[in-house]
């Protein structure tokens, strides 16, 4: 479980995060949603330790990140898997080498053990025959699946995904969403996804945190988001005619 | 203020190159790749330029000697001195700032733009050590390139002199051997090692700390070339004053 208390982050005069308090539960897909400029990416980068924050605390299963020593932080980071918006695959390595990279860096496994593990995770993301391809030869959806494989290869306790569906067609986006959901359930990890894809919200949002102007404006789940009266959430989530109709139908059916 | 900030950030980066080293089994592969990219990959252009510039130096020297009292072997002597003291260590380094420096800045800058550096940092890897240290080690072989440039420059001078009809083989070889001061080689290689360090670190700095997208990668490469060249020229002046002055 990841707990965040009163998190503040500024860049010069700009106060981006204005005191966020929330938690992300183990074994669940937790979504952070909000408009562009609401502070989602800054929040995610604070969670990952890429940005230092001025006030507040972030704890991973009770361990307060800022209070950890450099070695403890390194150990914790080895338990984190991250899927970046643009996949961030190392373009000088093949797909198999990309997936093997965390194992080479953080384990003392033999080459054959690492290869076996790479085979397992690449099979898990349905990329059985892509080992020798370079990232530039893979489609956007394939790259995302490789990034997921790399993120889970070292059995992380925490999985972070920044806009995992951006740039993907709707069908592939659903495949990626389902894959993240399955992996979260299968390995019982704490998954945090930064997204503004409403399909993801409806599909896999077991917990949803809505940010607005650097503050948590609402939190709930994919079930409660249909019924909320919070104007900021409804204006954001149901901004399209399609989603307005979906919500109306849902509410009529569940009255 | 911006310049002071950059200078401070540069020296902090230098410290971080040697902090929290990457696993040796991974680092070994990175070093070999950088030796291939930065050293082996530069041999062709350095050989080509050194040979022909050596030839031009010999021709220019020969054409500017009108006084019959000046010995003919001066062509070989002047070519050797120009190549060993300045052309090979300094001007090849300026060329390398364009070739190798731009490559380093753009490759690291592209990794920054595509979040590959963030990926390394999230994993708890010291990205500066991972990216810059192998380049630093690869460029310790830079004197090898400069030695080849020295040899080919003098050879180019010989070819131009003899086959262009500007002097005899005997005169040229006599000039090359005349009044040779071994310390000049030490001076050249001290400069070479200092420039190798500059070539590894300044372009890495501009790549690592760049912000923005593809356009900024191009701008960072240009800025990196300019500053690497400026620092090489200034250090050349300083080292020459200290070592030969």
pLDDT 10s digits, A119-148:
988 988 888 888 899 999 998 888 988 998
The residue from A138, A154, A170 where one domain ends is A154
* A207 has a pLDDT exceeding 80: yes
The values of phi and psi at residue A143, to 5°, are -60, -40
Q: Which residue of B has its CA nearest to A111?
A: B25
Is B121 in CB contact (< 8 Å) with chain A? Answer: yes
Distance CA A57, CA B232 (A): 46
Name the minimum distance, in Å, from the CA of B222 to any CA of chain A.
23
pLDDT of residue A154: 86
Name the minimum distance, in Å, from the CA of B94 to any CA of chain A.
27
Q: Which of B119, B120, B129, B214 to mutate to test the interface with A (most CBs of A within 10 A)?
A: B119
The answer to whether residues A143 and A160 belong to one domain is no
pLDDT band at A177 (very low <50, low <70, confident <90, very high): confident
The answer to whether residues A130 and A195 belong to one domain is no
Model-wide pTM > 0.90: no
Q: Residues 25..44 of B with a Cβ closer than 8 Å to A: which? A: 25-26, 33
Q: In this structure, what is the dihedral angle of CA atoms B125, B127, B132, B135, given to the nearest 10 degrees?
A: 60
Asked if A12 contacts A29 with a C-beta cutoff of 8 angstroms, the reply is no
Residue A120 lies in a domain: yes
The residue from A105, A126, A154 where one domain ends is A154
Contact B122 A73 (CB under 8 A): no
Per-residue pLDDT of chain B (245 residues), as tens digits, is 788 998 999 999 999 999 888 888 889 999 999 999 999 999 999 999 999 999 999 999 999 887 888 888 899 999 999 999 999 999 999 999 999 999 999 999 999 999 999 999 888 888 999 999 999 999 999 999 999 999 999 999 999 999 998 989 999 999 999 989 999 999 999 999 999 999 999 999 999 999 888 899 999 999 999 999 999 999 999 999 999 87
Domain containing residue A143: 95-154
The residue from A154, A186, A202 where one domain ends is A154
pLDDT of residue A13: 86
Here the CATH number for the domain that contains residue A39 is 3.40.50.300
Show the beta-strand stretches assigned E in chain A. Answer: 2-11, 14-24, 29-34, 55-60, 63-64, 80-83, 158-162, 190-194, 207-212, 215-220
pLDDT of residue B87: 94
Q: Which of B203, B217, B10 is nearest to B98 (CA)?
A: B203
Kindly list the domain boundaries of chain B, sorted by start residue. Answer: 30-244
* A73 has a pLDDT exceeding 80: yes
Q: Which of B16, B124, B211 to mutate to test the interface with A (most CBs of A within 10 A)?
A: B124
ipTM exceeds 0.95: no
The answer to whether residues A139 and A168 belong to one domain is no
Q: Which of A141, A149, A145, A131 is nearest to A93 (CA)?
A: A131
pLDDT of residue A167: 78
The answer to whether residues A25 and A116 belong to one domain is no
Name the minimum distance, in Å, from the CA of B24 to any CA of chain A.
10
pLDDT of residue A37: 83
In chain A, the number of structural domains is 2
The answer to whether residues A183 and A134 belong to one domain is no
Element (H, E) at A10: strand A2-11
- Which one of B25, B110, B118 has the shortest CB-CB distance to A84? B118
Contact B33 A73 (CB under 8 A): no
The answer to whether residues A129 and A112 belong to one domain is yes
The answer to whether residues A16 and A139 belong to one domain is no
């Amino acid at each position: 479980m990841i707990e965040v208390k009163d998190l503040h982050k500024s860049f010069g005069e700009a106060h981006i995060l204005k005191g966020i308090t929330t938690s992300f539960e183990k074994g669940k897909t937790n979504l952070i949603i909000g408009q562009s400029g609401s502070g989602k990416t800054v929040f995610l980068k604070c969670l990952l330790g890429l940005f230092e924050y001025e006030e507040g605390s972030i704890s991973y299963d009770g361990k307060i990140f800022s209070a950890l020593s450099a070695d403890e932080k390194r150990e914790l980071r080895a338990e984190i898997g991250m899927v970046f918006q643009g996949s961030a695959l190392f373009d000088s390595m093949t797909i198999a080498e990309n997936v093997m990279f965390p194992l080479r860096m953080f384990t003392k496994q033999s080459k054959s053990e690492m290869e076996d593990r790479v085979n397992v995770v690449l099979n898990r993301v349905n990329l059985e025959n892509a080992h020798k391809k370079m990232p530039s030869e893979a489609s956007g959806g394939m790259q995302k699946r490789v990034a997921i494989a790399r993120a889970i290869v070292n059995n992380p306790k925490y999985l972070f995904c920044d806009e995992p569906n951006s740039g993907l067609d709707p069908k592939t986006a659903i495949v990626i969403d389902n894959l993240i959901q399955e992996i979260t359930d299968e390995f019982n990890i704490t998954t945090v996804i930064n997204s503004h894809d409403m399909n993801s919200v409806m599909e896999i949002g077991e917990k949803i945190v809505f940010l607005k102007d650097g503050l948590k404006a609402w939190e709930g789940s994919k079930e409660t988001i249909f019924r909320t009266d919070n104007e900021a959430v409804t204006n954001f989530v149901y901004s399209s005619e399609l989603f307005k109709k979906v919500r109306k139908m849902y509410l009529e059916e569940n009255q | 203020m911006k310049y002071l900030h950059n200078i401070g950030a540069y020296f902090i980066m230098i410290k971080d190159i040697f902090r929290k080293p990457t696993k040796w089994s991974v680092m070994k592969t990175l070093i070999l790749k950088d030796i291939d990219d930065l050293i082996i990959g530069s041999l062709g252009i350095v050989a080509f330029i050194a040979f022909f510039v050596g030839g031009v130096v010999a021709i220019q020297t020969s054409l500017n000697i009108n006084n019959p009292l000046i010995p003919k072997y001066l062509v070989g002597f002047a070519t050797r001195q120009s190549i060993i003291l300045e052309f090979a260590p300094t001007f090849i380094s300026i060329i390398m700032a364009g070739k190798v420096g731009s490559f380093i800045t753009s490759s690291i800058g592209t990794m920054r733009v595509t979040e590959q550096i963030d990926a390394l940092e999230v994993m708890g890897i010291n990205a500066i050590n991972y990216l810059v240290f192998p380049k630093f080690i690869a460029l310790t072989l830079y004197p090898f390139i400069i030695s080849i440039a020295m040899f080919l420059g003098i050879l180019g001078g010989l070819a131009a002199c003899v086959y262009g009809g500007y002097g005899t083989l005997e005169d040229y070889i006599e000039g090359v051997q005349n009044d040779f001061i071994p310390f000049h080689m030490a001076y050249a290689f001290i400069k070479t090692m200092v420039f190798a360090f500059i070539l590894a670190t300044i372009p890495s700095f501009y790549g690592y700390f760049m912000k923005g997208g593809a356009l900024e990668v191009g701008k960072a490469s240009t800025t990196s070339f300019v500053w690497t060249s400026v620092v090489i020229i200034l250090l050349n002046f300083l080292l020459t004053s200290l070592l030969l002055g």
